């Protein structure tokens, strides 16, 4: 143990990594509740500010522009300053911006605050990927990713009834104040508890050994540049696949409440009662996808075979979204959407684990962030296109049909560009880059 750890007399705790990922899970829940607030209050916000569907889409687009840029920057930032300080900066930014929504009076104000929120919220994902890489051995990383990423689904389950209850009791302004303040409360716990494994006073020598086991070669001493990473085919596999697949998730988290309100005739109260169901399915998909690939590895499957099997199966499941377009009842549509989101979360948990499968620890944040850039660009295009299509054709059907095909396209690019899932030798590739 390091001198800094032996100097502390507090007793060790078994399984500190599970407490750490639990804290990151909670951050993801709060992050996503704040993100979803404006979508859940879409009927109220559009009426309050007299917005068209395309104007409402533009609010999310400004969020996504900042989110996309910040994914790339945050990944590198976390690699440089570490996860403790990185999460502190990200959480402060989105919490304060969310609270400031209470004082906005125009579409321009909403767009500016969503932009600032996007800058802060983006850091959660490359930061969490880096935490998982630091704290978990290879065979448990997909499960670690599943636990924190299930926070998006849990948030999507609890946010509709919670946000609508707060709005009905205290108004939409107080709702944003309360949601944003939750991030500041979480930050107190983060600063009081989190340290990297080698400096954490409560982690045991046995757990440190487990964390280091099977992690592959140690990270390179010198920093890995973006110019170097961009020459690697696995990086492009992750970026391009997320460009095509992530818009499926963004479609539903942005438009589902308004879709149910305008197409299926749901009241605001009914949105709060029923919108959680597809996201409960998404949470199950998150945990199932993360557990299954780890289970297959434990049974002797290669990382390559285990990850790809789960990813391919999940992409097939997501295609049922095309059936939601012609579903006769709202119940059937919600069930089909739930299947799509189950598949997406199983898919994304394994894809988000790939940076740590391909690259050393000091490049994971950057690669995860670059994947987020691809995801953000794809989401921007689909969110804006959805607003345009709905305003002009008064139908979500074309969008549902397109997003039913995108997961297969994404997985095709992932497998074709990524090749076999194994550690990239960056030292060797500096002389012979993968092109």
**How confident is the model over 28-71, as pLDDT tens digits?**
999 999 998 988 888 888 888 888 888 888 888 899 899 888 98
| Per-residue model confidence (pLDDT) at position 220 | 45
CA distance 368 to 352: 7
Task: Report if residue 434 sits inside a domain.
Answer: no
Q: Does the structure show a pLDDT above 90 at 174?
A: yes
The pLDDT assigned to 237 comes to: 96
pLDDT given at position 5: 44
2 band by pLDDT with thresholds 50, 70 and 90? very low
Q: How confident is the model at residue 3 (pLDDT cuts 50, 70, 90)?
A: very low
Number of domains in the chain: 1
- Of 29-38, 60-69, 254-263, 312-321, the least confident: 254-263
Short-list 283, 291, 296, 268, CA closest to 345: 283
Give me 84's structure tokens: 């403790």
Establish if 2 belongs to a structural domain. Answer: no
Q: What is the CATH number of the domain that holds 220?
A: 1.20.1250.20
341-378 per-residue burial string, b: 16 or more CB within 10 A, e: under 16: bbbbbbbbbbbbbbbbbbbbbbbbbbbbbbbbbbbbbb
pLDDT at 427: 63
pLDDT tens figures, 377-414: 998 899 889 988 988 888 888 999 999 999 999 999 99
What proportion of the chain, given as a percentage, has pLDDT over 70?
93
Residue 216 has pLDDT above 80, yes or no: no
- Is residue 255 in a domain? yes
Output 37 or 75, whichever has higher pLDDT.
Answer: 37
Asked whether residue 53 is assigned to any structural domain, the reply reads yes
Which phi and psi (to 5°) does residue 213 adopt? -70, 135
The range of the structural domain enclosing residue 298 comes to 10-429
d(CA 165, CA 161): 6
End-to-end CA distance of the chain: 41
Q: Is the pLDDT of residue 218 over 50?
A: no
Classify residue 3: in a domain, yes or no: no
Domain assignment present for 5? no
Q: What share of the chain is helix, strand, coil (3-state, %, to 5)?
A: 80, 0, 20
For residue 435, name the pLDDT band (cuts at 50, 70, 90). Answer: very low
The chain-wide mean pLDDT, for the chain, equals: 86
Q: What is the per-residue pLDDT for 141?
A: 84
pLDDT computed for residue 363 by the predictor? 81
Domain assignment of residue 71, yes or no: yes
Residue 98 lies in a domain: yes
pLDDT at 27: 95
């Amino acid at each position: 143990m390091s001198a800094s750890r032996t100097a502390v007399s507090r007793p060790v705790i078994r399984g500190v990594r599970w407490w750490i990922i639990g804290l990151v899970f909670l951050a993801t829940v709060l992050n996503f509740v704040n993100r979803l607030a404006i979508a859940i209050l879409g009927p109220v916000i559009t009426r309050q500010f007299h917005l068209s569907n395309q104007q409402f889409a533009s609010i999310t687009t400004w969020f996504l522009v900042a989110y996309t840029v910040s994914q790339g920057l945050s990944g590198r930032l976390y690699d440089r300053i570490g996860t403790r300080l990185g999460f502190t900066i990200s959480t402060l930014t989105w919490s304060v911006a969310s609270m400031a929504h209470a004082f906005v009076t125009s579409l321009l104000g909403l767009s500016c605050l969503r932009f600032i929120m996007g800058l802060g919220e983006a850091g959660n994902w490359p930061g969490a990927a880096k935490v998982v890489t630091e704290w978990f051995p290879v065979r448990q990383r997909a499960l670690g990713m599943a636990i924190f990423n299930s926070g998006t689904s849990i948030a999507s389950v609890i946010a509709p009834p919670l946000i609508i209850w707060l709005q009905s009791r205290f108004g939409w302004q107080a709702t944003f104040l309360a949601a944003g303040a939750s991030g500041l409360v979480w930050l107190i716990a983060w600063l009081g508890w989190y340290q990297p494994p080698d400096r954490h006073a409560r982690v045991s020598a046995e757990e440190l050994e487990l964390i280091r086991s099977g992690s592959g070669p140690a990270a390179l001493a010198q920093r890995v540049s973006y110019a170097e990473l961009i020459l690697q085919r696995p990086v492009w596999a992750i970026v391009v696949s997320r460009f095509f697949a992530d818009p499926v998730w963004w479609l539903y988290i942005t438009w589902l409440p308004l879709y149910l309100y305008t197409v299926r005739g749901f009241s605001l109260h009914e949105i709060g009662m029923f919108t959680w169901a597809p996201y409960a399915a998404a949470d199950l998909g998150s945990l199932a996808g993360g557990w299954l690939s780890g289970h297959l590895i434990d049974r002797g499957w290669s990382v390559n075979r285990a990850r790809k099997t789960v990813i391919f199966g999940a992409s097939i499941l997501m295609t049922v979204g095309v059936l939601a377009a012609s579903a006769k009842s709202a119940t059937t549509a919600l069930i089909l959407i739930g299947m799509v989101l189950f598949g997406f979360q199983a898919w994304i948990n394994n894809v988000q684990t790939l940076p740590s499968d391909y690259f050393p620890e000091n490049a994971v944040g950057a690669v995860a962030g670059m994947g987020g850039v691809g995801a953000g660009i794809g989401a921007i295009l689909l969110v804006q296109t959805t607003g345009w299509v709905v305003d002009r054709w008064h139908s979500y059907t074309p969008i549902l049909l397109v997003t039913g095909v995108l997961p297969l396209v994404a997985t095709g690019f992932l497998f074709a560009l990524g090749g076999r899932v194994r550690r990239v030798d960056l030292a060797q590739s500096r002389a012979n880059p993968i092109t």
